[in-house]
């Protein structure tokens, strides 16, 4: 599933960034070499990261 259309980020990539230690969307996106643009993806990315932190 695509999380961020602007950057073509996939759910898998955001989850991997969270497992690697990123604690928020901005740090996750930075680790993937981009940044949020329109911002519509930030709440979903935040939820994915929180889920990975709970499961990890």
- For 37, phi then psi, to 5°, come to -110, -70
The verdict on pTM exceeding 0.75 is: yes
Over residues 4-55, the pLDDT tens digits come to: 999 999 999 999 999 999 999 999 999 999 999 999 999 999 999 999 999 7
Cα–Cα dist 54/1, whole Å:
21
Cα–Cα dist 53/28, whole Å:
13
């Amino acid at each position: 599933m695509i999380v961020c259309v602007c950057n073509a980020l996939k759910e898998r990539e955001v989850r991997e960034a969270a497992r690697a230690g990123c604690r928020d969307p901005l740090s996750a996106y930075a680790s993937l070499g981009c940044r949020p643009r329109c911002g519509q993806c930030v709440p979903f990315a935040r939820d994915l990261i929180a889920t990975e932190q709970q499961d990890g």
